Amino acid sequence: MPSASDVPVPSDLPLLSRVVTPEAVKAYADAGGDQNPLHQDEAFARAAGFPGVIAHGMFTMGHLAASLSKWAGGPERIRRLTAQFRAPVFMGEEIVAGGRVKEVDVEQGVAVIECWVTVDRDGRTEWPIKRGEAEVLLDP
Amino acid sequence: MNPAAAGKTYPATTLTVDPQRVAAFREVFDESEGVPATFVTVAEFAVMPQIVADPELGLDFSRVLHGNQEYEYRRPLQEGETLEVRCRLGSIRVLGGNAFLVLVTELVDPAGDVVCTARSTLIERAAD
What residues does each domain of chain B span?
3-124
Cβ contacts from A onto B, under 8 A: 93
Which one of A35, A59, A67, A80 makes the best mutation probe of the B interface by having the most chain B beta carbons within 10 Å?
Answer: A80
Using a CB–CB cut-off of 8 Å, the residues of B that contact A are: 21, 24-25, 27-31, 33-38, 41-42, 45-46, 62, 65-73, 76
Residue A61 has its nearest CB partner, among B30, B38, B67, at B38
Candidate from A15-24, A43-52, A113-122 with smallest mean pLDDT? A43-52
Q: pLDDT-based confidence at B128, cuts 50/70/90?
A: low
pLDDT at A31 over 70: yes
pLDDT at residue B43 tops 90? yes
Q: Is A8 exposed, middle or buried (0-12, 13-18, 19+ CB in 10 A)?
A: exposed
Dist CA A124 CA A134 (whole Å): 26
Give the pLDDT confidence score for residue B59 in this predicted structure.
94
Tell me the per-residue pLDDT of B65-109, one tens digit each, with 9 for 90 and over. 899 999 999 999 999 999 999 999 999 999 989 999 999 999 999
CA dihedral A24→A30→A31→A35, nearest 10 degrees, is 100
Q: What is the CATH number of domain B3-124?
A: 3.10.129.10
Nearest to A68 by CA among B85, B88, B34, B93: B34
> Which residue of chain A comes nearest to B23, CA vs CA?
A31
Q: Which domains does chain A have, with CATH numbers?
A: 11-137 (3.10.129.10)
For residues B60 and B11, give the distance between their C-alpha atoms in angstroms, rounded to a whole number.
21
Query: Looking at residues A71-80, what average pLDDT do you find?
Result: 97
Distance from CA of B19 to the nearest CA of A (A): 11
The residue of chain B nearest to residue A30, with distances taken between CA atoms, is B24
A85 interface with B at CB cutoff 8 Å: yes
Is residue B84 classed as helix, strand or coil in its secondary structure? Answer: strand
Predicted confidence at residue A140, as pLDDT, reads 81
Distance CA A65, CA A137 (A): 14
**How far is it, in rounded angstroms, from Cα A38 to Cα A45?**
5
A115 touches chain B (CB under 8 A): no
Q: CB of A34 within 8 A of CB of A68?
A: no
Angle B19-29/A57-72 helices, nearest 10 degrees?
Answer: 90
pLDDT in tens, A40-51: 999 999 998 899
Instruction: Say if A38 is an interface residue toward chain B (CB within 8 Å).
Output: no
The candidate with the shortest Cα–Cα distance to A75, out of B23, B33, B1, is: B33
Chain B partners within 8 Å of A32 (Cβ): 25, 41-42, 45
